[in-house]
Amino acid sequence: MINEKEYAYKVSAAGRVNLIGEHVDYCGGKVMPAALSLKNTIYVRPNGTDKINLSWTDIPARVTLDIARLGEYKDVKYANYPAGCAYLWQQAGHKIVGCDMVHDCTVPFGSGLSSSAAIEVSTIAALATLAGETLDPVEIALVAQKAEREYAGVNCGIMDQYASACGKKDNAILLDCKTLAREYVPILLGDYTLVIANCNKPHSLVESKYNERRAETELALELLKTKADISCLAELTPDAFERIADVLDGHGMVRNRARHVVEECDRVRRAAGAMKRGDVASLGELLNASHASLRDLYEVTGVELDTLAAAAQAHPACAGSRMTGAGFGGCTVSIVRKDGVADFKKTVAAKYTGKIGYEPSFYDCTVEDGIIVTKLS
């Protein structure tokens, strides 16, 4: 149990659910994530030393980081993400204050809800707060992304960290991952609500085929550049892509990977319009189509996520459902009529358990702000 009176600040950053726009953030596309009430919260206080003492509420480990040697902790379990963030923040010219940090994370690990981004963003926000800096959420997101890529070895896009840092209560973020231009889109679902379900299959981005998929899209871009004046796959419309896609033939599954990206970018555009209109039926259809593409073209779902999404889509209270996150395990997001949520959870859980052999988990969470700083003493 944390005694808040013993700490100077409580700093939290959100996990995120991506409503639509999967595996397009590193291809220059637009995505539509939302920050969740599932968060990583850091209780922090200065300690007057040149050390950062890390501890966690849910694991017994304790790690001490030497501020002069922050680049040397890449292989230290649990500490590598906070250490990477402190190191890259330091490298960006920011002051690091010796401190005690206690991490309390309610974002389920390996769920596809960006526990890593929440840890990264909250770590940098806590360090900046202790140093008396005015928080710049976009800068924090960019440094957090750099830490995950260069320190943790995950070749991620910007979406997760941006949503964690820049989220807004009751809004999705329509984010252009190429320019970082953003538009907040109110989540207008009327009689419907979002339901997040975890298939409970463990996954790791580093160990999965995430980096392989990214390499495939990079190859597709280089090949398509010989036929079109583009800088990223997201600049192609579906029609324009089909006219030049033959250049990808003979390169394995690269054509399918690129087709998913191009069509998913188009679905994001249409989904934003549907949400602004409060058109839940159209939004749900787009979620279903997104999942089918991730299953058939991008091949990042697997039997667990496919079973969970199919069970959700078959329920009469569900307008649409899709996997969310990198895939290979993790979560689905579904749009469910509020008066049918209880039966939805019961029915989906029974179907999933009957086929897979173990139960899914459901999370009751809301869409909240990204970074929240509370002064404690």
pLDDT band at 110 (very low <50, low <70, confident <90, very high): confident
- Res. 211: pLDDT tops 90: no
What are the pLDDT digits (tens) for 286-324? 999 999 999 999 999 999 999 999 999 999 999 999 999
Mean pLDDT to the nearest integer, 233-260: 97
Q: Can you give the pLDDT at residue 112? A: 84
Annotated domain spans of the chain: 4-186+367-375
The full DSSP string for 332-359 is EEEEEEGGGHHHHHHHHHHHHHHHHSS-
Which residue type is seen at 124?
I
DSSP 27: G
Considering the chain, what percentage of its residues have pLDDT values greater than 90? 90
Q: Can you give the pLDDT at residue 244? A: 98
Q: Can you give the pLDDT at residue 206? A: 45
Q: What's the longest Cα–Cα distance across the chain?
A: 64
DSSP 220: H
Any idea which fold 4-186+367-375 has? Answer: Ribosomal Protein S5; domain 2 (3.30.230)
- Contact residues for 157 (Cβ-Cβ < 8 A; gap 6+): 25, 26, 145, 177
Q: Can you give the pLDDT at residue 66? A: 98
160 is catalytic: yes
Inter-residue contact 329 to 306 (CB < 8 Å): no
Of 25, 160, 266, 306, the catalytic one is: 160
Inter-residue contact 265 to 29 (CB < 8 Å): yes
pLDDT band at 208 (very low <50, low <70, confident <90, very high): low
3-state secondary structure of 366: coil
* Gap between the Cα atoms of 294 and 210, Å rounded: 13
- Res. 202: pLDDT tops 80: no
* Gap between the Cα atoms of 136 and 132, Å rounded: 12
DSSP 172: E
